[in-house]
Amino acid sequence: MVFQRLAIPAAKLLRSKSHIVPGPLLVTEHFFKVPLDYANPSAGSITLFGRSVTKHETPIFAPDEPPSPKPWIVYLEGGPGFGNREPQDHTLTRTALSRGYQVLYLDHRGVGLSTPVSTAMLARLPGGDGPNAVDVQANYLKLMRQDNTVRDCESVRKLLTDGLPEHKTRWSIFGQSYGGFISLSYLSLHPEGLREVFLTGGLAPIGKTADQVYEATFQKTIERNAAYYQKFPEDVEALRQIATHIEKEGGNQGLPLPGGGFLTVPRLLTIGIAFGGHGGFDQVHTLLVQLKASLDQFGFLTRASLAPLETFTAFDTNIIYAILHEAIYCDGPGSVSNWSANRVGQTLAQFSWLTRDNTSITSSTAPDQPLIFSGEMIFPFHFETYPELIPLRVVAERLANASDWPALYDVDQLRKNEVPVYAAAYIPDMYVDYAISKDTASLVKGIKTFETNTMHHNAVRAKAEEVFQNLFNLRDDVLD
């Protein structure tokens, strides 16, 4: 497989502004300009947004000379599709600052404040609302994957480290979930820019097809459903009551939602995506309690009960998560997702609701059998039920059938890797399968892993202190 390495120019700083927040922390907001397409720099540019943070200090005596800049560590958020929280709200900030870093929270291209992609924005691209709109929009979205995020990082690194001695121009990166996928692409594309790499739940399925990914994650999702109903057995009946109401009142299209789009039983069952994180069971249970209470008290679903459901998954405000989710598993030419999750799920009896066409899901399931939630999967019906995604149904179909994806990982480079890599792998992980993670770890020369069966995918937030302690132990401690 030919791996495409391109010339990376330094980013241009459009503007930056610093302010002090309680802590005290010095936070600087940066806007950078980088090429939209590094293979075709004349195709235009996009804006990247990031926040850097250092500890704010007021010395008693002015220093005799300016202090040397602290080494950078860059946090790469999960997703794809989500921007960063503010530094003062991020679990990494205190740990990184206490260890002598300055931190950069850089929004990936197309998300957060980095020229964020939306349905309206895509329609306003040159030609985005014309006869070739599907091609124009799909080709733009193809540039939003992890390979170009790596190039964006390199472009920003060259700007921020300009003028430093060569040995100080490398930086550290910390990749959570999809941010770990980016990190492994970084190790493949531009290892010369890296000092060290930290990964949490982000050992990407290198060498695996999308179908293999979903065959593994569906099984883990089935296990999590069993654990959920063991904790909340009353929700078997509650979910069936809610689903029956949706089918009766919404018909084939579903119940119209206050904010647009439709609530169908399949859409309701996708809230099982929360089962992959600490506290996810309780999130889903709370939502079902609200919906059931509305039905019990009023006989219909009130707006107040529907509001948490509408925003339970942020596909209307973070469309890249939905429209490019399977594309992050397409590694190189000839790799086609073809709605992999939908196809794999239809082969499993527990997810027979994926094969139903205008028939009742509740009446075709035994009354004493629970309806099974899906996990981190995207299905075609997402583009029929979410208002922001409905106009992109044809574009999503085009991307699902695309086969001209660039390569994301260079296995030969990973096998001879010289950059220190420290990874946390979670045995119960519902999103990034543990067995596949182990296969990936075996490809990366010199990697050190922390493995546990007591953490879920969002442990970097839910159990941050433990995660950071174990990762930095991998770096700093000695194994005799």
Active-site amino acid positions: 177, 429, 457
How many CB atoms neighbour CB 16 within 10 A?
Answer: 13
CA-CA-CA-CA torsion for 92, 97, 100, 103, nearest 10 degrees?
A: 60
Report how far apart the first and last C-alpha atoms of the chain are (Å, whole number): 39
- Whether 92 and 104 have beta carbons less than 8 Å apart is answered as no
Q: What are phi and psi of 268, to 5 degrees?
A: -60, -40
Tokens 């206490």 belong to residue:
98
Task: State the amino acid at position 367 in one-letter form.
Answer: P
d(C-alpha 33, C-alpha 45), whole Å: 7
Q: What are phi and psi of 264, to 5 degrees?
A: -110, 165
Tokens 């895509």 belong to residue:
122
H or E segment at 228? helix 210-231
Which residues is 368 bridged to in the sheet?
none
- Whether 307 and 286 have beta carbons less than 8 Å apart is answered as no
- Whether 388 and 317 have beta carbons less than 8 Å apart is answered as yes
Report CA-CA distances (Å) from 230 to 213, 233, 236, 392, 463. Answer: 26, 6, 10, 38, 24
How many CB atoms neighbour CB 334 within 10 A?
Answer: 10
Positive or negative: CA dihedral 468, 325, 315, 152: positive
